[in-house]
Amino acid sequence: EGITAGKRFIDMSTVDEATSKEIATAVTAKGGRFLEAPVSGSKGPALQGQLVILTAGERALREEAQPCFDVLGKRTFFLGDVGCGARMKLVVNMVMGVNIVALSEGLALGTKGGLQGADILDVIKEGALTCPMYNLKGPKMLEGDFAPAFPLKHQQKDVKLAVALGEDVGQALPLAAAANEVFKRARVAGKSDEDMSAVFAAVRS
């Protein structure tokens, strides 16, 4: 509705590949132009213009939209045909989800075993495992600060979609499937609208 010949439609939502292709077909059937452009990054990077933008579809439309993307993000990727942007976003968010669950389990194991949470984070920070997400989320997790940057319910949804994509392409994802169950448990515990890192509260309970 509202799409007319020549109208440009850029979809920055996180959906599965099939949904993105359905939207693209509906838009182009009316003579519109379509580009998928999901992003990697949450509220903070968005406010700072530091998102990573994952485009796919009409390359010419990507070029036309680049000035807008330059305001929103630090880098824009063109990944190919419609559906590739959706796939990349699910891959990225799946890895993020598995990693935040792994950090949660590490902190839970260490602190219940008598280690100081801050020491665990410092050791991780000084080794090969260091990453911006751990450095940002870790201290807040120990403080119980789960103010939402990326709500847990959205993280769980993306991991679920990634697991479904794995089934579609014949790739087993045992870690992602296990992480999905942990996020589901956190949702049952009332953590849906808190930050995805609130999965820590469910892990250590």
pLDDT in tens, 80-123: 999 999 999 999 999 999 999 999 999 999 999 999 999 999 99
- Listed residues 47, 81, 115: the one ending a domain: 81
Residues of the chain with pLDDT under 50: none
Domain hosting residue 20, numbered range: 8-81
The pTM of the full predicted model, rounded to 2 decimals, is 0.90
* Residue of 21, 30, 74, 89 with catalytic role: 89
- Is position 112 annotated as part of the catalytic site? no
pLDDT of residue 24: 95
Which residues, 6 or more positions from 117, have their beta carbon under 8 angstroms from its beta carbon? 107, 110, 111, 138, 142
pLDDT of residue 119: 98
Q: Is residue 52 part of a domain?
A: yes
Q: Do 95 and 64 belong together in one domain?
A: no
Q: Do 58 and 93 belong together in one domain?
A: no
pLDDT of residue 43: 83
pLDDT of residue 205: 82
Average pLDDT taken over every residue of the chain: 95
